[in-house]
Structure 1
Amino acid sequence: MAYQAIAFGAVEDLRLIPVSKARSARFRHRTGSLTPVEHDEPTREIRYRLRSESVTGEAALRSRGDASDFIAARLPGTGLHLGMSRRLFAACAALHRAQSEMPVNESLFLPDLVRPRHSVDDEEREEYSRATRRAYYEQEEERGPRLRAVVRHGFAQADAWSWSDLLSGRQVEVSLEDREESGLLEGTTAETYLAIEHTEPVLANARERR
């Protein structure tokens, strides 16, 4: 859903987010793998240097060996910002293309399955339901190896594409705004990005419960 929103949705504040490549050295919170940026000193240092050098272009950011460029955007009408790494975005794009290229007339059900009439009993309807589920899962199992190969290829080849390629020609620049000063709580995993504005009601509710 995050990929669909960023790639095709009417998102706001589409931008590149500099994130440190030093993932193995990141602080790991005991409740999960999301690292608050306020605890991610390598990322904070990279952003400080980029601001001092006024780096806004993708090429300049990618030329640095210590930084990754995540894509992120704000979901309209909310204080929520979602994003992901170049590799994850490229993998999602490859999967989306592969699924879009599948024959639209390919049935999800076996051709010899006959839909039960309204007059049949519940047992016959249940048997039909089980058969259609089996047919669906068998079809997905057949597609699985090819789709997994497509996703792996997209993930591995991500650096060969620019963000303009991945975003169908849209241009995007590096965000140099100090997100802490702007009131944004940020967190990252190895491949995903999440940020919440201080004014988001969910934060207000959380503070009230404390």
Structure 2
Amino acid sequence: MTMTEWACRYLMGLGQTWHIEDGGPDPALRDLFRDPARSLPDLWGLHTGEDAYWLIEAKGGNVRKNSLDEGWHQLKEGSKILHSYQHRLILCGASVQRQGDLFLTIDHERHSGKPPSAAHRESSSRPQSVGVSEDYIGNSDDALMGAARTQMLVYLAMRSAPRQRVRAVGVSADRSTHRARFGGLTTPLERVGSTQEMRRAARARTENEDARRALSRSMGLDDFLSYRIPGTELRLGMSRSLFAACAQLHREDALIAERTPGLRAEDQRVADEPADEDLQEERRRRERHLFRDQQEELRTRVALRVRNAYEQGAERTWRELLANGQEPALDLEEHPGLLESATSETYLAVRQEDLPYEDR
């Protein structure tokens, strides 16, 4: 699955992916995508460049022709449900050989139909199909919930990071300066002059960190928490508002999981017990459906709590938001060779020397 995500999202430009068993892209087709009698692919996503839905099946391990044929059959079953929409079928097979070689195969097939963007204009009940969900957080609870869930792994990584490895970076509090534009999903901060100017001004006025923190806020700088993800060259981050929203959503999901039989570790089958893999998978599928049903049933109440956390987060300090109760170091310095970018609520940085030579 990791190789499939890498290939589809980072090589071919697909956006966020979702498990198809949660209902697929169209609420009207939800019951068909959740039918346990159907053998369907793993994931779906929206490719905004193609204006087409993608149905994706991942096969791993000792991949052979029979497993790939099975994957293609699953994709065709999904295509029967999504036939009225423009969509593409993607089959990825990843295999590691005994000598350590890794190979990846990708088969694809495009199907014509109604573009998702046209369907979105016709019905407000469909998922947001254009732009970055963060750009719509201010007036859409669906966008806020989507952004919080998309950033959940980043939130969990930062929440558990050693204190000395996280820092707060100054980013313009004017969200309109780093909405999706310049032909990409993020805005390079070197193109947002206000951020660099305010950083320089705050550095020049005082060397005391607490004074800098108060001054930078009064000048219009927000402080995004950032953390270099271990094993990668990326430093990722997010605003206080989004961090608070992620924390609230995580708490709500944990409460639902506690009430869902089978999801707790003590409910899992002991490894040395004999088991029928098909029955185990069917049981796990039922448990996941029950969990998703509970999420959907409580969605309105949870969305209100997440919204409140998001709005209150802007007024809270990192000391209040972080479990260790300590304020992270504020970084307003210039770092030659560091390429920074931001969206409305997130931050990404990478050193130029860490990029592939052709991308520098």
Equivalent residue for 2:184, pick from 32, 35, 45: 32
Equivalent residue for 2:243, pick from 86, 89, 105: 89
Give the conservation status (yes or no) of the 8 Å contact 1:18–1:47: yes
Paired position in structure 2 for 1:139: 294
Paired position in structure 1 for 2:203: 51
Equivalent residue for 1:158, pick from 306, 309, 313: 313
Percent same amino acid at aligned positions? 36
Give the conservation status (yes or no) of the 8 Å contact 1:11–1:75: no
Which one has more relative contact order, counting CA pairs under 8 Å at least 6 apart?
1
RMSD: 3.1
- CA deviation digits over 1:134-184, x for unaligned, max 9? 5343222113222212211110111332111111212212113202x2x21
- CA deviation digits over 1:42-95, x for unaligned, max 9? 101111111112352333333x15221111121234321010011101111122
| C-alpha separation in 2, matches of 1:74 and 1:88 | 18
Determine helix, strand or coil for the equivalent of 1:174: strand
- Equivalences for 1:59-74 in 2 at 5 Å? 59-62=214-217, 64-74=218-228
Residues paired across the two proteins, number: 193
| Amino acid across the alignment from 2:299 | G
| C-alpha separation in 2, matches of 1:99 and 1:43 | 36
Give the conservation status (yes or no) of the 8 Å contact 2:175–2:344: yes
Q: 1:170 to 1:102 in 2, by over 3 A?
A: farther
Paired position in structure 2 for 1:23: 175
What residue ranges of structure 1 are gaps of 5+ in the alignment?
Answer: 110-116
Q: 1:132 to 1:36 in 2, by over 3 A?
A: same
Give the conservation status (yes or no) of the 8 Å contact 1:79–1:199: no
What residue ranges of structure 2 are gaps of 5+ in the alignment?
Answer: 1-152, 264-274
Match status 1:170 vs 2:359 = no
Q: 1:102 to 1:134 in 2, by over 3 A?
A: closer
- CA deviation digits over 1:182-201, x for unaligned, max 9? x211000110000002232x
| C-alpha separation in 2, matches of 1:125 and 1:72 | 40
Paired position in structure 2 for 1:190: 344
The structural deviation recorded for 1:107 is 1.7
Q: 1:12 to 1:32 in 2, by over 3 A?
A: farther
| C-alpha separation in 1, matches of 2:205 and 2:216 | 11
Determine helix, strand or coil for the equivalent of 1:160: coil
**TM-score (norm: length of structure 2):** 0.47
